[in-house]
Amino acid sequence: MDRKEVSVERSRVKSRRAPAAIGPYSQAILVGDTLYCSGQIAIDPDTGHLLSDSVEAETERVIENLAAVLAEAEMGLQHVVQCRVYLVDINDYGLVNEVYARYFDENSPAREAVGVAALPRGARVEISCVAVR
C-alpha cells in the first residue's frame, strides 16, 4: 500500500491581548478553518499576574483571554464548537456555569468539565477550546 504524504498547513496564532504562553506551547494553532486554543487561566495580559479575586472573576478573565486569541484568528466566541473546563474545586461548577452562560448562550459549544488536583500558578479554573470558521 502506498502511503501518500499529506501536508497540512498550520499556523501559530499569538495575541498580545492574551497572556503569553507560560511554557513550550502556542496560544493557538490554526489548521485550515479550525483553531485549537490552548487552555487559558486568569492571567491579566497587561500585568502578567493571576487574577484571583473569585472563581467568577477568574472565569471572566479566562473567557476574555480566549476571546482575544480567537479575535487574532478573526473569529469570535460564536465560532467555538468545543470547550474543556478544568476546575480545582468541582464545587465551583455552578459559579463557573453562571459566568460561562453569559458568554455562550443559545448555541453553546459541546463541553466537558473536569475536576483536577491543581492548575498552573494556583489558578482555580482553566478553559481550552476548539473553534471553526
Give tens-digit pLDDT for 43-62.
Answer: 999 999 999 999 999 999 99
Question: Does residue 131 surpass a pLDDT of 90?
Answer: yes
Domain range 10-132, its CATH number among 3.30.1330.40, 3.60.15.10, 3.30.70.20, 3.40.309.10: 3.30.1330.40
Looking at residue 90, what is its pLDDT? 98
pTM equals 0.93
pLDDT of residue 37: 98
Q: pLDDT confidence of 105, banded at 50, 70, 90?
A: confident
More confident residue, 37 or 107: 37
Q: What number is the average pLDDT over the span 67-71?
A: 98
pLDDT for res 42: 98
pLDDT at 121 over 60: yes
The answer on pLDDT for 7 being more than 60 is: yes
Phi first, then psi: give them for residue 118, nearest 5 degrees: -165, 160
Strand order in the sheet with 125-132: 10-13, 28-31, 34-40, 125-132, 80-87, 110-115
Angle (CA) 132 120 49, round 5°: 90
Distance, in Å, from the CA atom of 80 to the CA atom of 82, rounded to the nearest integer, reads 6
Cα 74 from Cα 95, distance rounded (Å): 29
* pLDDT class of 22 with cuts at 50, 70, 90: confident
**Whole-angstrom distance, CA of residue 69 vs CA of residue 31:** 15
